[in-house]
Amino acid sequence: DASTASKASNVVEASNVSADAGPTAASGRGGAGRADPFGWLDGAARARAEAGLTRRTRPRVPDEDLLDMAGNDYLGLTRHPEVTGAAADAARRWGAGSTGSRLVTGDTALHGELEAELAAFYGTEAALVFSSGYAANLGMVTALAGAGAHLVCDRYNHASLIDATRLAKAAGARVSLFDHADAGAALAALGAHPAERRLVVSDTVFSVDGDLTDLPALARVCAEEGAALLLDDAHGLGVVGDGGRGALGAARIPAAERGGIVVTATLSKALGAQGGAVLGPQRVIRHLVETARTFIFDTGLAPAAVAGALAALRVLRAEPERAARLRETARRLAAGLGELGLDVHAPDAAVVSVGAPSPDAAVAWARRCREAGVRVGCFRPPSVPDGRSRLRLTARADLDEVEVKRVLDVVGSTRPT
């Protein structure tokens, strides 16, 4: 999620800042007078540091005594014994990797089983598993848009959807952005450029603030206009809807409007494994198998990840109350943070976002939380628009009362002064 881009324009501006600030006469030449091909990187890194935008990976330590409020293991399934057991068995049976593209050697019966069960869970005709949610989004959008298509996209879509639309644009599609979660604005954008192939593209649950798009209205607009609706339900599967059946179920989209809808999901959040999937009508899925470049030219998802996701899906089906518990925990967290006087969004899903005064303040606040034993997410531009840096806390179904209280104490007592 650290690469989530809330605004396409923001990302472009931010990357220009870094790149343009780089080259200098001194750093552009090596000692022997030869050009230094990466000399400009030093200036770019300096510019990011000055803007408070340095980023580092930070390895997790197994069993470390940190309460994790930054990950996406929403249902607490990544370490569930049935999930890890199924993953380990599949690795022993099939190997650590899938050995090739699904169209060559990378397919197993497990992949088909997961696809059938995911489709049944979502109530779609078919599903197709990809190696990540990112790859699923790229594959879905580029295979369904093409030269002459018109893509109408929510301004705050996830970075993977933005990259997908950039690729579609390079292939000759027209791209329009509409105001966040505004179905009327999507309708106006559709009308502005008539095209034979029109596709509205949106997250269902937005990953930074955890707010929802107005799915019933968006689906109605698309059905009336004869436009396809492409949705990213990465933060919806396992979280929203009865039993965590995702955004389509939560929004109670009528069957008549479902024929034009295609959804992506990730297996790496609520299902605790790794990978992604596209769900939709059979003919769409067949088209993706034969044309989606991130399906054809990518190594198939590792069998261990497939088996882990399948086991997690079965746990979720058997224990549908996990999703409701997760949403209740998110509400309790948000209410508690609000009572502390912090700037919090009321959560519609599992994400609880807390405003910070500046990028530097957000980084320092997250560090103080970590030092006090609670890991929280920290979002700064270009992941969010300028002026909207924040901490992001992700609720989990397995958090108890004592842990929720500890989170509130730590986030409250370490707040910027």
Binding site for ligand PMP (CB under 6 A): 1, 4, 132-134, 137, 158, 160, 203, 207, 232, 234-235, 266, 268, 276
Residue 159 or 369 with smaller CB distance to ligand PMP = 159
Cβ proximity to ligand PMP, 44 vs 307, nearer residue? 307
Say how many CA atoms lie within 13 Å of 170 toward its Cβ: 7
Hey, is 151 helix, strand or coil? Answer: strand
266 versus 329: smaller Cβ distance to ligand PMP: 266
Q: Closest CB to ligand PMP among 69 and 187?
A: 69
User: What's the min distance (Å) between Cβ of 157 and ligand PMP?
Assistant: 8
Sequence-distant (6+) residues with CB within 8 A of 139 are 130, 278, 288, 292, 293, 294, 295
- Whichever of 205 and 219 has its CB closer to ligand PMP, that residue is 205
- The three-point CA angle 4-150-194 to 5° equals 145
* Min CB(29)–ligand PMP separation in Å: 39
Shortest CB 160 distance to ligand PMP, Å: 5
**Residue 392 C-beta: closest distance to ligand PMP, Å:** 11
Q: Which helix (H) or strand (E) holds 181?
A: none
- CB-based burial, 275-293: b 16+ in 10 Å, e otherwise: bbbbbbbeebbeebeeebe
Q: For the CB of residue 276, give the shortest distance to ligand PMP in the complex, in Å.
A: 5
Tokens for 372, please give them. 């006090």
What string of H, E and C letters represents the secondary structure of 57-110?
CCCCCCCCCCEEECCCCCCCCCCCHHHHHHHHHHHHHHCCCCCCECCCCCCCHH
Longest dimension (CA), the chain: 70
Q: How many other C-beta atoms can be found within 10 angstroms of the C-beta atom of residue 107?
A: 17
CB of 368 to ligand PMP, least distance (A): 25
In whole angstroms, how close is the CB of 147 to ligand PMP at the nearest point?
A: 25
Beta carbons within 8 Å of 324's beta carbon, 6+ residues apart: none
| Neighbour tally for 302: CB within 10 Å | 23
Our CB check for ligand PMP shows the closer of 1 and 257 to be 1
Based on CB atoms, which residue is closest to ligand PMP, 10 or 268?
268
Q: How far apart are CA 411 and CA 319, in angstroms?
A: 31
Nearest residue (CB) to ligand PMP, 185 versus 270? 270
- DSSP 8-class letter at 124: -
* CB-closest chain residue to ligand PMP: 133
Q: How far is the CB of 61 from ligand PMP (least distance, A)?
A: 22
Describe the strand order of the beta sheet including 67-69 as a list of residue ranges: 67-69, 374-379, 390-394, 351-355
